[in-house]
């Protein structure tokens, strides 16, 4: 097994024991990136020099007994939606080409304060709109299980980087499923924290009331370790929760012992069945059975409003996005395009030419939808209605959590589809997030844990575990218990079975 296969938790131990240096670990991952990223295209920007400098600083600190955190020296990849001081930040869009932020997002600042070398920025659907990473203006990312297939989206770059062993850890963002769905289709772990649990300062907004950054990893424990680094109150984000995080690492370790006695697990009736691939449902059922065998009590819960979640999301998200994306006006950031054949064009003409050239089709589609939904006369009929349904969805969650400690569903309805398969069919693309969107609309935390390989195509599927707001610890307890049971069943990590990059060395 190549050394870059080591988990972050294990790397932290090896670094602490002095068996390896941060420079060696970082170089190993840079070598892996050099070997495979030509095929995977998980990265939009690799900062080899910066990462090695940060790793050398970490080694120097360690030698002085001044390590900053358990993950000091463990390298990480960051989704290109996060502002990174001195590093390009494009959000997968032409309109931000060439923009180098003068400041760090809080998440990035916290990574630096904890000593994690930043390997680079990962590919994504433009402005995080999509479920396949094919909407990136810089070309798609490919799934390490099968290079002809999508790695999920919008955070396909972060998920693929971790699945391809290019990085032990990555940062993603999840507005409707962009951490969890890529996790499911690449056989990795992804966590959407409670809304307000991780700062949004410096995260380029898609839809402020839904966006949340979180960990992308290969194990549940690694996710908990990373979550503790990036989470917690930030006065720079007015929606940040001013309360301590629960003990997430403790929860993951407790869960890994495999005992779920007394935990009530609720299977959501509305999330499954029609529209879900048979192999995905079979792996889901097996996971539920394993949790019951570990002592959990199974209850079925109904959340009737969830059937409206997708429609609600596709009113609220475009409305917020159309307003957020107004700032890309050719004056402040990145691209500026002058209209052809116009002498002394007006500011409005430059803005129009820039937005026409700088935004892709999906972004334009949502700006138009959102502008329409917010326009006077339609506001009450569309946006106002959607906000009311959003409340109903939260009420369904509240009711369900009186019967169950966590709620379960398949993470995504299908395994990874082929590149190009859904690109011209927006609705088919949107359906990928059927099961993940309710959590964003209500702000509750969720994790996706690999559940195994679907029989039809031998590709990974995921189980989603949701908990009440601010009880992120529960997704780690249950996620780690499930992971432990499944890893024992498989005889090792699921990713050991990925064959897409076979034959590639390093
Ligand atoms: N796929 C969803 C969308 O296109 C979710 C995106 C996200 O979570 N950023 O909106």
Q: Of the residues 58, 67, 93, 154, which is catalytic? A: 154
Residue 94 has a pLDDT of 97
Q: Is the CB of 131 under 6 A from ligand 1?
A: yes
**433 CA → ligand 1 middle, Å:** 7
Nearest residue by C-alpha to atom 10 in ligand 1: 129
Q: How far is CA 300 from CA 174, 310, 409, 448, 485, in A?
A: 26, 22, 11, 20, 22
Within its chain, how far is the Cα of 104 from the centroid? 19
pLDDT band at 1 (very low <50, low <70, confident <90, very high): very low
Task: Check if 79 is active-site.
Answer: yes
- Which helix (H) or strand (E) is 207 found in, with range? none
**355 CA → ligand 1 middle, Å:** 21
DSSP reduced 3-state for 101 = coil
The whole-chain average pLDDT of the chain stands at 96
Q: Within 13 Å, how many C-alpha atoms sit on residue 466's CB side?
A: 31
* Interval 148-198: pLDDT, tens: 999 999 999 999 999 999 999 999 999 999 999 999 999 999 999 999 999
Q: What is the mean pLDDT of residues 295-310?
A: 97
Nearest residue by C-alpha to atom 5 in ligand 1: 176
pLDDT band at 504 (very low <50, low <70, confident <90, very high): confident
Q: Of the residues 178, 287, 409, 448, which is catalytic? A: 178
Q: At what angle do helices 309-324 and 361-374 cross, to 10 degrees?
A: 100
Q: Which domains does the chain have, with CATH numbers?
A: 3-306+391-497 (3.90.1300.10)
Residue 503 has a pLDDT of 76
pLDDT band at 102 (very low <50, low <70, confident <90, very high): very high
Q: Is the CB of 73 under 6 A from ligand 1?
A: no
Atom of ligand 1 nearest to the CA of 128: 9
Within its chain, how far is the Cα of 278 from the centroid? 25
β-strand pairing of 297-301 with 406-410: unpaired
Q: Is the CB of 174 under 6 A from ligand 1?
A: yes
Within its chain, how far is the Cα of 315 from the centroid? 22
Q: Is the CB of 21 under 6 A from ligand 1?
A: no
β-strand pairing of 264-268 with 43-46: unpaired
Q: What is the mean pLDDT of residues 212-226?
A: 98
Q: Where are the alpha helices (DSSP H) in 336-471?
A: 347-358, 361-374, 385-403, 426-430, 437-442
Q: How far is CA 211 from CA 105, 122, 214, 217, 340, in A?
A: 14, 17, 10, 19, 37
Q: What is the mean pLDDT of residues 430-436?
A: 96
- Determine the longest span between alpha carbons in the chain, in angstroms: 74
* Interval 73-98: pLDDT, tens: 999 999 999 999 999 999 999 999 99
Q: What angle do CA 164, 168, 171 make, to 5 degrees?
A: 95
Q: Is the CB of 136 under 6 A from ligand 1?
A: no
The answer to whether the beta carbons of residues 476 and 446 sit under 8 Å apart is no
**313 CA → ligand 1 middle, Å:** 10
Distance linking the first and last C-alpha atoms of the chain = 10
Task: Check if 178 is active-site.
Answer: yes
- Would you call 250 exposed, middle or buried from its count of C-beta atoms within 10 A (0-12, 13-18, 19+)? middle
* Interval 119-144: pLDDT, tens: 999 999 999 999 999 999 999 999 99
Residue 506 has a pLDDT of 55
Residues in contact with 393: Cβ distance below 8 Å, sequence separation at least 6, in sequence order: 303, 305, 306, 308, 309, 312, 438, 441, 442
- Which helix (H) or strand (E) is 242 found in, with range? none
pLDDT band at 2 (very low <50, low <70, confident <90, very high): low
Atom of ligand 1 nearest to the CA of 153: 1
Whole-angstrom distance, CA of residue 447 vs CA of residue 466: 7
| pLDDT reading at 332 higher than 90 | no
* Interval 30-69: pLDDT, tens: 999 999 999 999 999 999 999 999 999 999 999 999 999 9
* Interval 224-269: pLDDT, tens: 999 999 999 999 999 999 999 999 999 999 999 999 999 999 999 9
Q: Is the CB of 130 under 6 A from ligand 1?
A: yes
- Residue keyed to tokens 């190009």: 420
Q: What angle do CA 40, 41, 42 make, to 5 degrees?
A: 95
Residue 283 has a pLDDT of 98
**182 CA → ligand 1 middle, Å:** 11
Q: How far is CA 36 from CA 32, 152, 214, 420, in A?
A: 6, 18, 25, 22
Q: How many residues does the chain have?
A: 506
- Would you call 425 exposed, middle or buried from its count of C-beta atoms within 10 A (0-12, 13-18, 19+)? exposed
| pLDDT reading at 213 higher than 70 | yes
Q: Tell which residue, 191, 149, 150, 199, has the closest CA to residue 174.
A: 191
Task: Check if 269 is active-site.
Answer: no
Q: Is the CB of 175 under 6 A from ligand 1?
A: yes
**287 CA → ligand 1 middle, Å:** 26
Q: What is the pTM of this model?
A: 0.98
Whole-angstrom distance, CA of residue 341 vs CA of residue 190: 49
Residue 505 has a pLDDT of 61
Atom of ligand 1 nearest to the CA of 432: 1
> Does the bond joining 449 to the residue before it have cis omega, within 30 degrees of 0?
no
Left if phi > 0, otherwise alpha if psi is -120 to 50, otherwise beta: which for 282?
alpha
What proportion of the chain, given as a percentage, has pLDDT over 70?
99
Residues in contact with 305: Cβ distance below 8 Å, sequence separation at least 6, in sequence order: 389, 392, 393, 395, 396
């Amino acid at each position: 097994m190549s050394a870059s296969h080591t988990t972050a938790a294990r790397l932290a131990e090896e670094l602490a024991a002095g068996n390896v240096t941060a420079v060696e670990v970082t170089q190993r991952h840079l070598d892996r990136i050099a070997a495979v990223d030509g095929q995977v295209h998980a990265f939009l920007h690799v900062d080899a020099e910066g990462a090695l400098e940060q790793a050398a600083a970490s080694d120097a600190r360690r030698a002085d007994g001044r390590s900053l955190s358990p993950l000091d020296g463990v390298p990480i990849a960051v989704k290109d939606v996060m502002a990174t001081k001195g590093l390009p930040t494009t959000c997968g869009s032409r309109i931000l080409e060439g923009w180098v932020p003068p400041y760090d997002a809080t998440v990035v600042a916290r990574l630096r304060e904890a000593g994690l070398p930043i390997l680079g920025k990962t590919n994504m659907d433009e402005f995080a709109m999509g479920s396949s990473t094919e909407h990136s203006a810089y070309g798609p990312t490919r799934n390490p299980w099968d290079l002809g297939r999508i790695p999920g989206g919008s955070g396909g770059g972060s998920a693929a980087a971790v699945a391809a062993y290019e990085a032990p850890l990555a940062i993603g963002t999840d507005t409707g499923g962009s951490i969890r769905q890529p996790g499911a289709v690449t056989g990795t772990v992804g966590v959407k924290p409670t809304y307000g649990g991780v700062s949004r300062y410096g995260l380029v907004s898609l839809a402020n009331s839904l966006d949340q950054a979180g960990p992308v990893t290969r194990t549940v424990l690694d996710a908990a370790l990373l979550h503790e680094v990036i989470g917690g109150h930030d006065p720079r984000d007015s929606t940040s929760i001013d309360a301590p995080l629960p003990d997430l690492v403790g929860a993951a370790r407790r869960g890994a012992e495999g005992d779920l006695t007394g935990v009530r697990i609720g299977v959501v009736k509305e999330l499954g069945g029609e529209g879900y691939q048979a192999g995905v449902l079979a792996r889901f059922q097996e996971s539920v059975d394993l949790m019951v065998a570990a002592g959990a009590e199974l209850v079925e819960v109904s959340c009737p409003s969830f059937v409206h979640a997708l429609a609600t999301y596709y009113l609220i998200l475009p409305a917020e996005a159309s307003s957020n994306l107004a700032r890309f006006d050719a004056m402040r950031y990145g691209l500026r395009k002058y209209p052809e054949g116009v002498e002394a064009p007006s500011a409005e003409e430059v803005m129009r030419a820039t937005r026409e050239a700088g935004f892709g089709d999906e972004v334009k589609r949502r700006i138009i939808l959102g502008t329409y939904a917010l326009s006077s006369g339609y506001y009450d009929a569309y946006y106002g209605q959607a906000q009311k349904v959003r409340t109903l969805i939260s009420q369904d969650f509240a009711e369900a959590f009186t019967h169950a400690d966590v709620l379960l569903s398949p993470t995504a309805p299908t395994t990874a589809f082929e590149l190009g398969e859904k690109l011209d069919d927006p609705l088919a693309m949107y359906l990928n997030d059927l099961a993940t969107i309710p959590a964003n609309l209500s702000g509750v935390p969720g994790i996706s844990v690999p559940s195994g390989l679907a029989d039809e195509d031998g590709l990974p599927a995921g189980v989603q575990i949701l908990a009440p707001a601010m009880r992120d610890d529960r997704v780690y307890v249950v996620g780690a218990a499930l992971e432990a049971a499944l890893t024992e069943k498989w005889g090792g990590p699921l990713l050991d079975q990925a064959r897409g990059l076979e034959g590639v060395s390093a």
